[in-house]
Chain A
Amino acid sequence: MTAATRLSISGMSCAGCVASVEQALQAVPGVEQAEVNFAEHTATVEGDVSADKLVEAVKQAGYDAAEMKGQNAEADKEAAEMAHYRRLLRKTAVAAVLGVPLVIGDMGGFLPALDTSLGQPIWLFLGLLTLGVMIYAGGHFFTGAWKAFRVHNANMDTLIALGTGAAWVYSVVVVLFPDTVPSLARHAYFEAAVVIIALVNLGGALEMRARGKTSEAIRRLIGLQPKTARVVREGKEQDVPIDEVGLGETLRIRPGERIPVDGDIIDGHSSVDESMLTGEPLPVTKQVGDEVVAGTINVSGSFLFQSKRIGADTVLAQIIEMVRRAQGSKPAIGRLVDKVAGVFVPAVLLVAVATFLIWFNLGGEVLLSHAIVATVTVLIIACPCALGLATPISIMVGVGKAAEYGILIRNGEALQQAGKLEAIVLDKTGTVTVGRPSVTHLVPAADYSEEQVLQLAASLEQGSEHPLAHAIVEAAKQREITLSDVQRFEAITGQGVSAELDGDVCYLGNVRLMQSQGIDIGELQDRAQQLAGQAETPMYLARGQQLVGIVAVADPIKDDSAAAVRRLQQLGLKVIMLTGDNTATAQAVARQVGIDEVIAEVQPQDKNRHIEQLQQRGEVVAMVGDGINDAPALAQADVGFAIGSGTDVAIESADVTLMRGSLHGVADAIAISHATLRNIKQNLFGAFVYNSLGIPIAAGILYPIMGLMLNPMIAGAAMAMSSVTVVSNANRLRWFKSGAQS
């Protein structure tokens, strides 16, 4: 297929760049023509080649590129599905127009007997009419069955085509050659053939409607993307379609407008409502340099921003892609069913033939009509779709529901594992606490002042990236303290830092650091323990061998951590806190949020070992951390929850990514997992029970006991409704409510 692909190119500054980009594009296999428009910073490429390869080629040439793709795919899909839905309803109506009078005529005895001189031509006419309706309303079953047969496959179409086809052929034989059939078996089943086709089409239409609701979450996410954007070109603001927005363009956002692409604010400030992506209810303040992402709503001020991610590269597009991918994945619970579903239809065909033979041999010619009815009913009642749908449809709704709460589940397996968890390990900083520590106390040793303690501590930490260091430097800035230059800065993992100042080696860190350097901390030890008992982190400061003081830093506990921990415990989970912080501080924090078990003073690289130890005790363990520092522990855990903040999410880093910072997201994810697994089990139970009871009843197992033969039309209705029931049950998951409010 030859198609045109439009790319937005950034980084081009001259005509030479145009030539480079064009050459790079031309060199991609499959490209027939590539034209770069320097003024618009776009490229139009024709040829049989994927956009990904073109973007890659431009990037390798030293520029940036992204595909400029329209957002109409979803609308096209919906239009096609709606047309298909209407077609199914039309076919249902046509089949019903013939089928219903036939049923009434047959049951009410209004039609002439088959073997009369008047009856034969009338029934023949009805047979031909039935054939016409079957071709119009059920032709797709026969086409599908034949195509599947040719590739050694059998599907739902096979069953419907064989069932209705057998009913029609038998009826025609009865009408044309009545003498070849025993008199008691002379019955035509034209009405059954058309009514079954009407019911199966109606079932398909109802299923389509119900399934439409299962992708509501994705549709809602797609709906966040505005159709147009207001770009500033040559000093003028103009509205353009979203697929015309390129990289590096300046865009204007006014109050109440939705942000069309990702970018950085270059002028103005505002507050932005990101709740639709993160589930976080409060608007976030944004100013020059801050990032804004597509789909979020500008609440108050007006601002200009520069686009940096467009099309499929925006955070919103990536989230949609991730949710879609997860919705299509299957947990282990669905794999066995897949195997059953894969061999189900041929197995039903065998059962149908066996049913005929058993009836034929046991009932003899007198019960030939029962043999035909039972065979057709077995074919019609069997529903592989209900089996095949049971797992994926629940996963689809469950994963979508989670996305509405700002919870991105990587795949069905993660969802299933989350339902089996027994213990959950929480990182402290940024997970239980806010993750933005601040200096709370300065305790000088004798001969020193608070200011001297802060000045020295901040001077030591100015080269560090650690959040605690940031808090100390920030406190010094607020007091307008001038920092000294230090030499030989060294971060000592899990202990603190050291650096040289005016020839003295200075240390700032925990007890272990002081002990390793032989520094006497006796003077301030009690005070340090007291601060730790208040959930603060005391750090000793020393110059040479002399203790200078203590800097205490505290990271406030998130408002809702205690409530979320309670929810996790109510879900039957053992909650453990894992931290590199000192034991006393960790225990104080744990006490405040209601956690009983604390593993403190753990080196970052040892966190995964502690997870492993818990797993060796036979527990299914989850780890909740920030996704970057805790990556090995997240990977080691049976389910890793990366807790993010806002839309700055590490999408690929964990089994479950929480876009909002609250621990309630973990409880919600686990609750959704429980609900989804319960839903899958209900669906599987229903589908298995339906088929394993329905097929024997259809085969006539109740006839010897109760004299009951199932009507093939009832079988058709049951089959049509079985899929609808599975989809409707999965739809119940849409009503899941977070326990965070309660």
Chain B
Amino acid sequence: MIWLINLLGLALMLAIVWWFWIAKPATTQRQGDTVDILVDDGVYTPSRIETPVNQPITLRFLRKDASPCAEQVIFSDFDISAELPVDDYKAITLTPQEKGEYDFTCQMQMYRGTLIVI
């Protein structure tokens, strides 16, 4: 019994490492120039968006969560931050000029998304 619980515990730790740090969630391909992102319940949906390099992309954030956690979206690599209105769209247009993964987050880093530039 003790061994079983220890094994389960270690397996759980490995699962945490794998799920949160190694495995990546599904990626959303952009359709057209604009991607709508829902801001609610602590997550951006979709949270991983793929876009080609050197092409402008407009991300339209629709904030449903009225808590201050969701108030701002920050693209620190692009030096962009915006305040999100509640129940309304806020569009951010940017043109990534280098391939790579760029995070966008709320002020507290709890809402997290990634722009994957290919």
Contacts and interface: CB of A to CB of B under 8 A. Distances in A.
Interface stretch (A110-118, A252-260, A346-354): A346-354
Nearest to A340: B109
Contacts of A170: none
A50 B33 CA distance: 12
Contacts of A385: 69, 108, 110
A150 B67 contact: no
B87 A329 contact: no
Contact of A50 (B13, B58, B103): B58
B79 interface: yes
B35 interface: no
Contact of A388 (B12, B36, B45, B108): B108
Interface string A348-371: 011001101100110000000000
B85 A77 contact: yes
Contacts of A360: 2, 5-6, 9
A350 B17 contact: yes
B55 interface: no
A330 B76 contact: yes
Contacts of A61: none
Chain B contact residues: helix, strand, loop or mixed: mixed
Interface string B36-69: 1000011101011000000000101000001111
Contact of A152 (B10, B25, B36, B42): B25
Contacts of B13: 350, 353-354
Nearest to A141: B42
A40 to B, nearest CB: 25
Interface residues of A, number: 58
A389 B107 contact: yes
Nearest to A389: B108
Interface in A307-364: 324-325, 327-330, 335, 338, 341-343, 345-346, 349-350, 353-354, 356-357, 360-361
Contact of A392 (B47, B79, B107, B112): B107
Nearest to A218: B83
Interface stretch (A10-18, A94-102, A203-211, A567-575): A203-211
A151 B81 contact: no
Interface string A388-412: 1100110000000000000000010
Given A77-B85, A152-B23, A328-B74, A338 B105 contact: yes
Nearest to B111: A155
B43 A147 contact: yes
Contact of A356 (B9, B45, B91): B9
Given A324-B83, A384-B110, A153 B43 contact: yes
Given A346-B21, A349-B16, A353-B12, A329 B81 contact: yes
Interface stretch (A79-87, A129-137, A291-299): A79-87
A157 interface: yes
A81 B86 contact: yes
A346 B105 CA distance: 17
Interface in A135-158: 140, 143-145, 147-157
A357 B5 CA distance: 8
B89 to A, nearest CB: 6
Contacts of A338: 76, 105, 109
Nearest to B42: A144
Given A330-B76, A346-B17, A384 B87 contact: no
A353 B47 contact: no
Contacts of B47: 151, 153
A385 B112 CA distance: 13
Contact of A144 (B19, B43, B83, B108): B43
B25 A151 contact: yes
Interface in A208-223: 208, 211
A362 B17 CA distance: 24
Contacts of A152: 19-20, 23-25
Nearest to A326: B81
B110 A155 contact: yes
Interface in A149-190: 149-157
A73 interface: yes
Contacts of B85: 73, 76-77
Contacts of A346: 16-17, 20-21
A219 to B, nearest CB: 12
Nearest to A334: B76
Nearest to B46: A151
A282 interface: no
A446 interface: no
Most buried by A among B5, B24, B58, B83: B83
A152 B24 CA distance: 7
A328 B83 contact: yes
B82 interface: yes
Contacts of B74: 328-330
Given A350-B17, A361-B2, A328 B110 contact: no
Contacts of B42: 144-145, 147-148, 153, 155-157
A164 to B, nearest CB: 16
A143 B41 contact: yes
Given A77-B86, A354-B13, A207 B107 contact: no
Nearest to B87: A80
Most buried by A among B2, B69, B87, B108: B108
Interface string A265-305: 00000000000000000000000000000000000000000
Given A325-B80, A350-B16, 19 more contacts: A48-B34, A50-B93, A76-B86, A80-B66, A140-B41, A151-B45, A152-B23, A152-B24, A153-B25, A204-B67, A211-B68, A335-B76, A342-B109, A342-B112, A353-B13, A353-B16, A357-B5, A385-B69, A388-B107
Q: Sorted from nearest, which 9 A-B pairs have the closest CB atoms?
A: A328-B81, A388-B108, A144-B42, A84-B66, A80-B86, A346-B20, A341-B109, A155-B110, A392-B107
Interface of A: 1, 48, 50, 73, 76-77, 80-81, 83-84, 140, 143-145, 147-157, 204, 207-208, 211, 324-325, 327-330, 335, 338, 341-343, 345-346, 349-350, 353-354, 356-357, 360-361, 384-385, 387-389, 392-393, 411
15 contacts: A1-B60, A50-B93, A73-B85, A153-B42, A155-B42, A324-B81, A324-B82, A327-B81, A328-B107, A329-B79, A338-B76, A346-B17, A346-B21, A357-B5, A384-B110
Interface of B: 2, 5-6, 9-10, 12-13, 16-17, 19-21, 23-25, 34, 36, 41-43, 45, 47-48, 58, 60, 66-69, 72, 74, 76, 79-83, 85-89, 91, 93, 103, 105, 107-112
